């Protein structure tokens, strides 16, 4: 992967290098460890957590990829809340720049009205899909403008911004400067030869203009040190390595403004109304604006975690940390990178007509269904393909049949006529073998007991699919346990059988309680339904309350003997394809019966 940095022409580069040398001689070395907790390690006693999504461009309606970024961040935020953190979760919209200016022009709308309309659509999507953001930021807000102006002035006052001439390629779609090696040739829809970014495929244009440059080159070695000293700061590892690789190449200074005559839709450079601040500098500062910059950001800023897609890696792992170092601010704790969704094996695009409307699909598959699919199938390291058939197959197997079927069995009046959390009998299921439980049952208990640790680790490292894989495997084992002992065949007239039956149901309900609790960050509605049905009060749904099967260790179980909660129907309705159209699923009321 090559990095498309802004570059300056040969002649002018010599000039800048000279200027820079002179400048560096009276500039103190900036310290990478300026932060209070400058590494990826959290301060032990600090329970603040700050997570962000990228802010979304408002040139077009939200699509599946946008929801994916938001769902990942939402899952991390919810998991931190359940672990007792004071978590803040920011999302919002990126509303300035040439791309938005052109989109508003093309729509024949006033840019702010245009932005407000699309920004509302993002907000509506996130509210509809239970994205529990605590802050929604728009870069057109006054508080943000103040933060950007302040940030710019800090860099300016430190001598990190200077006026120069940028000459090179620019992609408006990516709002990105490119090196010649990042540019290739392609044909446009009318067959005309055009230059494109090799990375994104978007059209690029040659530009030459006077604007402000940021001394990015000065930060090269500090960025390398930061990445080397914090090997988990960019996750997954492959992206961390990619950034280090990029940093082995030349790191030219970065253009951080555009001429006002070309770009009116943006924040003017303080003190120079002829220039507009580069949209990426403007956009990245949103993370600070939400944290309360410039006055009150300390509590949140030193705990910043960013979720981003792989296409915006260089902006977050090179430009952003360099800006922050320049401004003397702590660097992000972790930058979680995810890959992309393709549809039918192809990149989503309007021209291919394969753009997935996440709202429409969430209505079809339910919010939780969509969230579960995206997080269960989405692998951060590589792109994943979205098809409705896959969604249905996965949701039917894991949510309707496996998890829903288990709940259905253990709460059905046939097996649980008194609708209670029945008693556990330690003679039937002693802590060592010798009762009616078999070796596989003990393996299952060990797996479920260990599950919270496994899940917490995977959530924390954004390997959410691995957490869900582990939960799904335990659900299968619990179904196997119930199936193996066929409680429906036991003789209720026999007191020993009755005790064993109760024990089987008690164990299965305990497993379900653990699954329901751990699944809350991913499928909050389904988890709520499940835990409510088990009679687990809201105050008993945090990580602290997990304590699996205390009766097997001779402790009291707070739920034993308690009535179950109300039955509000199947946990997740099976989705069935209409025979005339494979792509259109419909919901059925039936839940699977695994007997
Ligand atoms: N505005 C910038 C981000 C600025 S953050 C300071 C931007 N916006 S975006 O709307 O184009 O993209 C927002 C997020 O959506 C990015 O993380 C991007 O990777 C993600 N996705 C866009 N298309 C995607 C897929 N097809 N699949 C998964 N996520 C993708 O970039």
Q: What is the 421 CA–ligand 1 centroid distance (Å)?
A: 46
Mean of the per-residue pLDDT values for the chain?
90
Count how many Cα atoms sit within 13 Å of the Cα of residue 99 in the half-sphere of its side chain.
Answer: 20
* Owner of token pair 């802004």: 6
567-579 mean pLDDT: 86
Helix axes 220-229, 320-327, angle to 10 degrees: 100
Residue 581 pLDDT > 70, yes or no? Answer: no
- For residue 352, name the pLDDT band (cuts at 50, 70, 90): confident
- For residue 190, name the pLDDT band (cuts at 50, 70, 90): confident
Give the tens place of pLDDT for each residue, 248-307.
999 999 999 999 999 999 999 999 999 999 999 999 999 999 999 999 999 999 999 999
Cβ of 341 less than 6 Å from ligand 1: yes
Determine the pLDDT at residue 188: 86
Residue closest to 114 by CA, chosen among 138, 148, 149: 138
Cβ of 422 less than 6 Å from ligand 1: no
Residue 205 pLDDT > 60, yes or no? Answer: yes
Q: Which residue has the higher pLDDT, 199 or 90?
A: 90
Give the tens place of pLDDT for each residue, 397-417.
999 999 999 999 999 999 999
Ligand 1 pocket mutation, candidates 65, 73, 100, 373, criterion most atoms within 8 A of CB: 65
E-strand ranges in 365-517 read 384-386
Residue 30 pLDDT > 50, yes or no? Answer: no
**Which H or E run contains 511?**
helix 495-519
Q: What is the 54 CA–ligand 1 centroid distance (Å)?
A: 7
CB 148 within 8 Å of CB 97: no
Give the tens place of pLDDT for each residue, 496-507.
999 999 999 999
Q: What is the 202 CA–ligand 1 centroid distance (Å)?
A: 15
Residue closest to 280 by CA, chosen among 98, 8, 111, 133: 98
Determine the pLDDT at residue 200: 87
The token duo for 100 is 């938005």
Cβ of 56 less than 6 Å from ligand 1: yes
Give the tens place of pLDDT for each residue, 520-560.
999 999 999 999 999 999 999 999 999 999 999 999 999 99
Q: How far apart, in Å, do the first and last CA atoms of the chain sit? A: 52
DSSP 142-180: HHHHHHHHHHHHHHHHTT-EEEEEEEEEEETTTTEEE-G
Alpha-carbon span 404 to 152, nearest angstrom: 54
Of the given ranges (65-69, 231-235, 307-311, 347-351), which has the lowest mean pLDDT? Answer: 347-351
- For residue 31, name the pLDDT band (cuts at 50, 70, 90): very low
Cβ of 65 less than 6 Å from ligand 1: yes
Q: What is the 207 CA–ligand 1 centroid distance (Å)?
A: 25
- Considering the chain, what percentage of its residues have pLDDT values greater than 90? 82
Cβ of 284 less than 6 Å from ligand 1: yes
Determine the pLDDT at residue 433: 79
CB 294 within 8 Å of CB 147: yes
Cβ neighbours of residue 589 under 8 Å, at least 6 residues apart? 569, 570, 573
Cβ of 340 less than 6 Å from ligand 1: yes
Beta strands 581-587 and 48-52 are unpaired
Cβ of 311 less than 6 Å from ligand 1: yes
Determine the pLDDT at residue 353: 86
Give me the phi and psi of 584, to 5 degrees please: -110, 100
Give the tens place of pLDDT for each residue, 112-137.
999 999 999 999 999 999 999 999 99
Cβ of 137 less than 6 Å from ligand 1: no
Nearest ligand 1 atom to the CA of 348 is 26
Residue 55 pLDDT > 80, yes or no? Answer: yes
Q: What is the 56 CA–ligand 1 centroid distance (Å)?
A: 6
CA distances from 383 to 47, 235, 354, 386, 508 (A): 33, 15, 16, 10, 36
Alpha-carbon span 340 to 349, nearest angstrom: 13
Q: What is the 65 CA–ligand 1 centroid distance (Å)?
A: 7
Nearest ligand 1 atom to the CA of 66 is 15
C-alpha radius of gyration, the chain, whole number: 28
CA distances from 264 to 25, 96, 206 (A): 37, 9, 19
Residue 6 pLDDT > 50, yes or no? Answer: no
Other Cβ atoms within 10 Å of 439 Cβ, number: 8
Q: What is the 591 CA–ligand 1 centroid distance (Å)?
A: 37
Ligand 1 pocket mutation, candidates 63, 312, 344, criterion most atoms within 8 A of CB: 312
Residue 32 pLDDT > 70, yes or no? Answer: no
Q: What is the 28 CA–ligand 1 centroid distance (Å)?
A: 36
Answer left, alpha or beta for residue 92, where phi above 0 means left and psi between -120 and 50 means alpha: left
- For residue 109, name the pLDDT band (cuts at 50, 70, 90): very high
Q: Whole-prediction pTM value?
A: 0.90
Determine the pLDDT at residue 564: 97
Residue closest to 198 by CA, chosen among 220, 227, 169: 169
Cβ of 54 less than 6 Å from ligand 1: yes
Q: What is the 190 CA–ligand 1 centroid distance (Å)?
A: 28
Alpha-carbon span 587 to 574, nearest angstrom: 6
Q: Furthest-apart CA pair in the chain: how many Å?
A: 95
CB 235 within 8 Å of CB 334: yes
CB 378 within 8 Å of CB 465: yes
Q: What is the 126 CA–ligand 1 centroid distance (Å)?
A: 15
């Amino acid at each position: 992967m090559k990095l498309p940095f802004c570059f300056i022409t040969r002649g002018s580069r010599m000039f800048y290098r000279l200027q820079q040398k002179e400048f560096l001689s009276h500039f103190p070395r900036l310290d990478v460890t300026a932060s209070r907790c400058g590494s990826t390690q959290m301060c032990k006693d600090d329970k603040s957590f700050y997570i962000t999504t990228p802010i979304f461009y408002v040139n077009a309606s939200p699509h599946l990829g946008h929801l994916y970024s938001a769902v990942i961040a939402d899952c991390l935020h919810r998991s931190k809340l359940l672990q007792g953190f004071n978590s803040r979760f920011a999302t919002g919209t990126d509303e300035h720049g040439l791309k938005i200016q052109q989109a508003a022009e093309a729509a024949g709308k006033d840019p702010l009205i245009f932005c407000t309309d699309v920004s509302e659509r993002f907000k509506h999507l996130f509210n509809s899909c239970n994205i529990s953001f605590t802050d929604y930021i728009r870069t057109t807000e006054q508080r943000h403008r103040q933060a950007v102006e302040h940030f710019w002035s800090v860099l300016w006052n430190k001598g990190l911004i200077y006026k120069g001439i940028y000459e090179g390629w620019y992609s408006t779609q990516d709002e990105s400067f490119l090196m010649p090696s990042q540019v290739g040739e392609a044909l446009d829809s009318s067959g005309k030869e055009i230059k494109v970014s090799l990375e994104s495929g978007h059209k690029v244009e040659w530009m030459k203009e006077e604007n402000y440059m940021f001394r990015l080159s000065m930060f090269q070695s500090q960025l390398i040190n930061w990445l080397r000293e914090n090997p988990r700061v960019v996750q997954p590892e492959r992206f961390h390595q990619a950034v280090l690789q990029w940093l082995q190449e030349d790191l030219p200074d970065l253009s951080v403004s555009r001429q006002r005559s070309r770009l009116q839709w943006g924040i003017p450079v303080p003190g120079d109304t002829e220039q507009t601040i580069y949209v990426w500098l403007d956009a990245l500062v949103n993370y600070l604006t939400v944290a309360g910059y410039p006055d009150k950001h300390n509590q949140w800023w030193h705990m910043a975690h960013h979720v981003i897609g792989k296409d915006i890696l260089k902006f977050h792992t090179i430009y952003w940390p360099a800006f922050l170092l320049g401004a003397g601010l702590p660097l992000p704790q972790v930058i979680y990178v995810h890959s992309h969704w393709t549809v039918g094996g192809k990149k989503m695009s309007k021209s291919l007509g394969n753009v997935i409307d996440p709202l429409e699909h969430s209505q079809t598959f339910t919010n939780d269904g969509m969230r579960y699919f995206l997080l269960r199938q989405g692998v951060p390291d590589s792109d994943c393909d979205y098809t409705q058939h896959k969604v249905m197959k996965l949701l039917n197997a894991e949510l309707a049949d496996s998890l829903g079927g288990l709940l259905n069995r253990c709460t059905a009046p046939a097996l649980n006529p008194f609708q209670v959390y029945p008693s556990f009998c330690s003679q039937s299921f002693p802590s060592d073998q010798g009762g009616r439980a078999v070796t596989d049952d003990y393996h299952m208990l060990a797996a479920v007991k260990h599950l919270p640790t496994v899940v917490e680790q995977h959530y924390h490292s954004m390997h959410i699919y691995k957490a869900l894989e582990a939960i799904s495997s335990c659900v299968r084992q619990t179904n196997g346990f119930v199936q193996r002992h066929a409680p429906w065949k036991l003789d209720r007239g026999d007191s020993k059988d009755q005790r064993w039956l109760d024990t089987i149901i008690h164990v299965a309900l305990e497993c379900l309680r653990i699954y329901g609790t751990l699944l809350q960050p991913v499928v909050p509605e389904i988890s709520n339904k499940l835990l409510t049905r088990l009679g687990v009060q809201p105050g008993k749904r945090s990580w602290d309350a997990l304590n699996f099967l205390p009766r097997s260790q001779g402790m009291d179980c707070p739920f034993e003997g308690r009535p179950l909660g109300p039955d509000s129907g199947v946990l997740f309705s099976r989705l069935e394809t209409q025979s005339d159209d494979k792509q259109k699923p419909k919901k059925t009321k039936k839940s699977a019966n695994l007997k």
